[in-house]
Amino acid sequence: MIPFNKLYITGKEEIYVKDCLKRKHIHGDGYYTKKVNKFIEEKFNTRKALMTTSCSSALDIAAISLNLKEGDEVIMPSYTFVSTANAVVLRGAKPVFAEISKDTLNIDPRDVENKITNNTKAIFPVHYAGVSCDMDSIMDIAKEYNLKVVEDAAQGVNARYKGKYLGTIGDIACYSFHETKNYSSGEGGAILVNNDNDLCKRAEIIREKGTNRSQFFRGEVDKYTWVDVGSSYLPSDMLAAFLCAQFEKIDEIQESRKKVYDAYYVGLNELEKQGKLKLPIIPEHCESNYHMFYILLNSEKERDSLMYKLKERNIGAVFHYIPLHESPMGQKFGYKQGDLNITEDLSRRILRLPMYPELKAQEIEYIVKNIKGIL
Ligand SMILES: *Cc1c(COP(=O)(O)O)cnc(C)c1O
């Protein structure tokens, strides 16, 4: 069986986790969490980075720190993971779904602008498959209408847009270190705050149960107390230790994924020329982190049939998001099938192929050969 995803272990994870145990500090914000935060701040160039228990919790912190409340609207793609919307909904605000572009499957800035009302407070762009959204247009719109931008960069760690790392362009950004992402600690995430000093302070407090405990440990206040809303969003230092090992190999891991991506691309090029499928597009100003390799078939029927036939041949190809506007929860907000035609069409024709650093050349060849045979 060639699975869809396989955890990559660098070999240092065990050493660092053992060292973490030896230090007898396994709760949050220990030696390794501080290392992770510093790594993110220095490598990607952001003002403040804080490791969290997940990208979902980082999105929650972002939504709380922006003071989202009932009556507020946040524009995001419908074609995303539920956490992007949940963060907003948990504050009582409304997710407003915009269309995606056909080339990258990222949110379409023109539709973002269409969806702005007097109640719009923020835009949550999602960098799908490790390829950046059109951030210049999104940041321009945000500036014009005075909106905050929270990048859902769960899939975008170590990818770039015009030289800048994803997660360092909006006001706030969220990373995921879930096992299915490029760099992993099993479960885990981070919140990045890029400019605003007050937002930095608030994110830190919200992450620490609404207390100024971090300021206390830095000696900035003489006791710590309850100063804001918050919850517990700190991961165990053991998870940070695991992630440190992955970060040491961040560029090697990305290079291995690029090899897989390139091999698929070359192997399937002929089928694209014959009009049997479409290959993913990386716009010129984007550097991908090769999180995903997907193909777009000509119809849902062809997609489903290919997926099942590949499964019969032990190849773990999978579809992706059910658009949120069509989901039972989306319908509770008054959305329905037919609202977003491009999103609905693309989500029904996408197929993601196995993608992980250790996927071998012969295995890719086997997958390509089977796709060719079936189509
Ligand atoms: C994986 C993912 C998340 C959630 O990440 P967790 O760390 O599992 O909470 C959120 N948004 C997107 C786009 C994702 O791909």
Q: 343 with 357, same domain?
A: yes
Determine the structural domain holding residue 332 and report its residue range: 250-374
Q: Is 176 in the pocket of ligand 1 (CB under 6 A)?
A: yes
Q: Do 48 and 60 form a contact (C-beta atoms < 8 A)?
A: no
Q: How confident is the model at residue 50, as a pLDDT?
A: 98
Listed residues 247, 273, 300: the one ending a domain:
247
Residue 58 CA to ligand 1 centre (angstroms): 10
Q: How confident is the model at residue 239, as a pLDDT?
A: 98
β-sheet bridge partners, residue 219: none
Q: 112 with 231, same domain?
A: yes
Q: Do 188 and 176 form a contact (C-beta atoms < 8 A)?
A: yes
Residue 362 CA to ligand 1 centre (angstroms): 31
Q: How confident is the model at residue 108, as a pLDDT?
A: 98
Q: Is 83 in the pocket of ligand 1 (CB under 6 A)?
A: yes
- Which residue's CA lies nearest to atom 5 of ligand 1? 55
Tell me the two tokens of residue 134.
């059109």
Q: 99 with 184, same domain?
A: yes
- 133 lies in a domain? yes
Listed residues 219, 247, 275: the one ending a domain:
247
Q: 277 with 235, same domain?
A: no
- 2 lies in a domain? no
Q: 200 with 77, same domain?
A: yes
Ligand 1, from 4, 56, 60: best to mutate by most atoms within 8 Å of Cβ? 56
Q: 166 with 307, same domain?
A: no
* CATH code of the domain containing 331: 3.90.1150.10
- 7 lies in a domain? no
Q: How confident is the model at residue 344, as a pLDDT?
A: 98
Q: Is 56 in the pocket of ligand 1 (CB under 6 A)?
A: yes
Q: SS3 string of the chain? A: CECCCCCCCCCCHHHHHHHHHHCCCCCCCCHHHHHHHHHHHHHHCCCEEEEECCHHHHHHHHHHHCCCCCCCEEEEECCCCHHHHHHHHCCCCEEEEECECCCCCCECHHHHHHCCCCCEEEECCECHHHCCCCHHHHHHHHHHHCCEEEEECCCCCCCEECCEECCCCCCEEEEECCCCCCCCCCCCEEEEECCCHHHHHHHHHHHECCECHHHHHCCCCCCCCECCCCCECCCCHHHHHHHHHHHHCHHHHHHHHHHHHHHHHHHHHHHHHCCCEECCCCCCCEECCCCCCEEEECCHHHHHHHHHHHHHCCECCECCCCCHHHCHHHHHCCCCCCCCHHHHHHHHHEEECCCCCCCCHHHHHHHHHHHHHHC
Ligand 1, from 4, 61, 79, 81: best to mutate by most atoms within 8 Å of Cβ? 81
- 144 lies in a domain? yes
pLDDT in tens, 4-25: 999 999 999 999 999 999 999 9
Q: 309 with 339, same domain?
A: yes
Q: 200 with 229, same domain?
A: yes
- 207 lies in a domain? yes
Q: Is 194 in the pocket of ligand 1 (CB under 6 A)?
A: no
Q: Is 156 in the pocket of ligand 1 (CB under 6 A)?
A: no
Q: How confident is the model at residue 116, as a pLDDT?
A: 98
Q: How confident is the model at residue 42, as a pLDDT?
A: 98
Atom of ligand 1 minimally distant from the CA of 128: 13
Number of domains in the chain: 2
Q: How confident is the model at residue 231, as a pLDDT?
A: 97
- 140 lies in a domain? yes
- 339 lies in a domain? yes
Ligand 1, from 155, 180, 294: best to mutate by most atoms within 8 Å of Cβ? 155
Q: How confident is the model at residue 247, as a pLDDT?
A: 98
Q: 105 with 240, same domain?
A: yes
Q: 128 with 203, same domain?
A: yes
Cα–Cα distances in Å, from 9 out to 225, 250, 257?
Answer: 40, 12, 14
pLDDT in tens, 251-260: 999 999 999 9
Q: How confident is the model at residue 317, as a pLDDT?
A: 98
Q: 176 with 272, same domain?
A: no
Listed residues 212, 247, 282: the one ending a domain:
247
* CATH code of the domain containing 113: 3.40.640.10
- Which residue's CA lies nearest to atom 14 of ligand 1? 154
Residue 55 CA to ligand 1 centre (angstroms): 5
Q: Is 120 in the pocket of ligand 1 (CB under 6 A)?
A: no
- 32 lies in a domain? yes
Q: Which residues of the chain have pLDDT under 70?
A: none
Q: 87 with 154, same domain?
A: yes
Q: How far apart are CA 373 and CA 357, in angstroms?
A: 25
